[in-house]
Structure 1
C-alpha cells in the first residue's frame, strides 16, 4: 500500500470533484500525471512511490493518497496553472504539520532563529534520505506570507543588546572561532555560490544544508558579540542559498522555509541589504508561482528596508525585480519606469567606491539586460502574446545572451536566457529562430542540474509544438528533447 500512496480506508468514497476539475483543466492524461508524480517523487528521494493510471483513477474516485503525494500534487498543479494550488484546493485531506516546521510566522528572536535553523536543516538532511522531504510543508502566500515578513523591520521588544566588537563583554566570553576560521566559513559560502551559478542547484544542495547545520551548531556556543553577528550573516547567506537551490530543483515549500529563516538570520546579523536580497529571492519565487502581487509587496518591503544602506548595484537589482512584478501584473507604464530606474541606478554602481558584498556580484551588466528583457517578455505574454513588447525584449535579451556566452561561469543564467530568446522569437512568429535558441539551451542544460531550466525548456518546446507542430525544425527539436532531456521514467 505505501508504495502506491493509498490511504488504506476507502469506505463511503465519493468522487473528488475538486481534484477532477483541476485535472480536466490541466489537459494531462492519467498516465502523464502518474509519470509526473513519479518523477517529482524521485527528485525528493521518495523512491518508494510508484504511481500508475489506476492509482490516479482511484484518487479521482475519492481515495486519499498518503504523504508526500498530496504535496507533490499541489506543487505540480501550482506549476501547471501558475498559481498556488493548495492541498485543500485539490480536495485532499491535509496533514496538520506542527507550527515549528511549517509556518512562516515565526518568532523574531535570535535563540529561536538558531533553534529553527538547526531543526530544519537537520530534518532536511535526514528526511531527504528517507524520501519524505517537504511532506510536512505548505506554501504560504498572500497576507499569511506578507504580514509576518513585514515584521523584519520591527525592533524586537526586550531583546538583549548584542555587545559591540570592542565591548569589554567580549573579553569575558571565550569564543571558539578564530578570525581565520570565520574567514574560511565566508570563503566556503562564496565557493558554494559559484558552484550554484555554474552547475545549478541540484549538485551541491545537501552540502550547503550541511554547512548551514554546522554554523547553527556554532551559534549555540558562547561567542563574542562580533563573532555572533558574523555567524548569523554566514547563516543567512547559507540559508538563502539553500532556499535558492531548493527553488531551482523544484522544492518550492522547502525553498520558502529557508528564505524565511534566512531573513530572520539577516535581522539578527543587523544586515538590512542582505535582508533585502533575501526578500528579492522570495519575490522571484512568487513570480514563478503566479503571485506577482505578493512579489511586489516583498520587493517594496525590501526597498523600504534598505533604501538608506544598500549599494547602487543592490538597488538596481530591486528595481529590476519590481519591473518583473509589474510586468506580470500587466502594468506596462510602471514596468517601463522600473526598468529605467534599474538602468539608471546600475550606472551609478560604476562610480560606487565601496566593494559590494559577494551575494550581489552576480548582478552584472548581463544580469541587468536579462532581467529587463524578461520583464518585457513577461509583459508580452500578459498582453496576449503581444509582438510589440516582444520586440522591446529582443535586443536586451540578445545582449544578455552575448555577455553570458563570454562569461562562461554563469551557465544556468546562460541557459535561461537562451530559452528567453527562444520564447521571444516564438512570440514574434519566428519559429525557426526560436527552435535554434531552444536547441542551444538544451546543449547548455545538459551541463547544469536545474529542474527550473529543464521545465522551461519543456514548456518552450510544448509552445513550439502547439503553434508550429508541422515545421521540420520543431519536429527535430522534439526529437532532441527526447534525447537530451528525457523524462525520468525513460532514463
Structure 2
C-alpha cells in the first residue's frame, strides 16, 4: 500500500513508482500526484512585440478549437491563458508601444474566453471576461476588438431572450464599427437582423440582412483581421437564416430562411462544426414546423454526428427545441423517429 506521495518520494524512488504505474495500480494516489503539480509558468521580466505575437497565436489556436468543438471542454484552459496574459499585463515591463499590443492581446483572449464560457452556459464568467476585454480594448483604442466584443455580447443577449438589450449593445458596436473593417460591420449588421427577427420586426430584419450583404461584398480578406477569417459567406448565410427563423416559424419568409440555412450547411468548413450544427438544427426545425417530416428526418441524420461531437450548451438547447417541435405530431412515425434520435443524442455519454 503506497501512502501519500511527496516530491522526495518521487526523487528517491522514481523507478519504483514507474514500475507500479505500469504493472500495478497507482490510481489511489492520483490526487497526491496532481496536488503536487504547482503551475510553473512565470511572468517574464520584459515583454517584446514578438512575445505578444506568440500570445496572439496561442489565442488563435484556442479560438479555432472553440469553433470546432465548442466551449464545453476547453474553456478552463483558455481561462488559464487569460490569467497568464493578465499577469503579464500587470507585472511585466514593456515599452509604451508594446503596452498597447499587450492590452489588445488581453482584450482578444478575454473575448475568446468569454464566448467559450457563454457557449458552455457559464454566463457569469462570460460577463466578467467581456467587461475586462472591453476595458483593455478601450485603453488600447482597438476599435476592431471593441466592435467584436460588443457584437458577441449582443449575440448573447439575443440568445438568452433579451433582444432589446442586444440592440443597445449593437448601437455601441455600430458606433465603434465606423473605425472598423467591412467584415466587422457585416457582423454588426447581421446580428442586428437577428435582434429584429427575435422581436418579430420583419422590415428592420430584412433591411439589416441587406446591409450585412452590402458590407460583406465590400470586404477584402487581405485587409481584414486574421481572427475574423471565420466570418465567411457560410457564416453570413447561417446568421441571416437564423435571423429569419423567428419569422419563418410563423409562416413569414420561410422559404428564404430555408434557402439561407441550406446554403450555410453546404458551405461551412469542417473546422466550423459548431456553426454548422447550429444552422442545421434550425433548418431541421423549419422542416418540422411546416410538416416536411421526411426532410426533417434526413436533416437529423446529417445533424446528429456533428452535434454530438460539439460540446456546446447552445447546440444542446437547439436539439431540445427539435424534440419539442415534434410533439404536436403525436404518434406520427417519422416525427417519432426524429424525436427518438434526438433524445438519444441528448443523453450524456457514459465515458
Same fold, judged at TM 0.5 (above): yes
Q: Is the 8 A contact 1:398 1:421 kept in 2?
A: yes
Q: 1:353 & 1:369 partners in 2: Cα distance? A: 17
Structure 1 residues 390 and 427, CA, compared in 2 at 3 Å: closer, same or farther?
farther
The C-alpha deviation readout for 1:368-415, integer Å capped at 9, x for no partner, is 1111111111223xxxx32232222011111001101xx111011111
Computed over aligned residues only, the root mean square deviation of the Cα atoms, in angstroms, reads 1.8
> Following the alignment from structure 2 to structure 1, what is the Cα–Cα distance between the partners of residues 124 and 294?
38
Give 3-state SS (helix, strand or coil) of 2:73's partner. coil
Alpha-carbon deviation of 1:335? 0.8
Aligned twin of 2:293? 431
Matching residue within 121, 137, 145 for 1:250: 121
* Separation of aligned partners in 1, 2:86 and 2:128: 16
Structure 1 Cα separation of the partners of residues 160 and 79 of structure 2? 24
Aligned residues of 2:70 and 2:312 also touching (Cα < 8 A) = yes
Measure the CA separation in 1 of the matches of 2:115 and 2:165: 18
Residue 10 of structure 2 corresponds to none
| Residue 342 of structure 1: aligned partner | 212
Look up the match of 2:329.
468
The one of 159, 163, 171 equivalent to 1:288 is 159
User: 1:178 maps to what in 2?
Assistant: 48
| TM-score normalised by structure 1 residue count | 0.60
Q: 2:303 aligns with which of 426, 437, 441?
A: 441
Distance 1:458 1:220 in 2: 43
1:360 and 2:228 matched = yes
Cα shift at 1:175: 6.5
Following the alignment from structure 1 to structure 2, what is the Cα–Cα distance between the partners of residues 377 and 460?
A: 13
Partner of 2:133: 262
Displacement of 1:192 in angstroms is 0.5
After TM superposition, which residue ranges in structure 1, 4 or more long, deviate above 3 angstroms?
Answer: none
The equivalent residue for 1:374 is 242
- Does residue 394 in structure 1 map to residue 258 in structure 2? yes
Q: Provide the C-alpha distance between the structure 1 equivalents of 2:160 and 2:196, rounded to a whole number of angstroms.
A: 15
Q: 1:478 to 1:386 in 2, by over 3 A?
A: closer
**Matching of residues 159-308 of structure 1 within 5 Å:** 176-221=46-91, 222-307=93-178
Aligned residues: 307
What are the within-5 Å matches in structure 2 for residues 86-165 of structure 1? none
Following TM superposition, by how much is the alpha carbon of 1:320 offset from its aligned partner in structure 2, in angstroms? Answer: 0.4
Aligned-residue offset at 1:226: 1.3
CA distance in structure 2 between the aligned counterparts of 1:390 and 1:260, rounded to whole angstroms = 37
1:329 CA displacement:
1.4
Distance 1:195 1:474 in 2: 34
Q: Deviations over 1:310-341 (max 9, x none)?
A: 11111111110111111111111111111111
CA distance in structure 2 between the partners assigned to 1:179 and 1:223 by the alignment: 9
Displacement of 1:259: 1.2
From the superposition, tell whether residues 469 and 485 of structure 1 become closer, same or farther in structure 2 (CA, over 3 Å).
Answer: same
Q: Which residue of 2 aligns with 1:100?
A: none
Provide, for residues 205-227 of structure 1, a one-character-per-residue CA deviation record: whole Å limited to 9, x for no partner.
Answer: 11111111111111112321111
Task: Tell me by how many angstroms 1:285 deviates.
Answer: 0.6
Distance 1:483 1:290, change over 3 A: closer
CA distance in 1, matches of 2:221, 2:121: 38
- State the 1:461 CA deviation: 1.6
Q: Which runs of 5+ in 1 are unaligned?
A: 1-173
- 1:25-36 aligned at under 5 Å gives the runs none
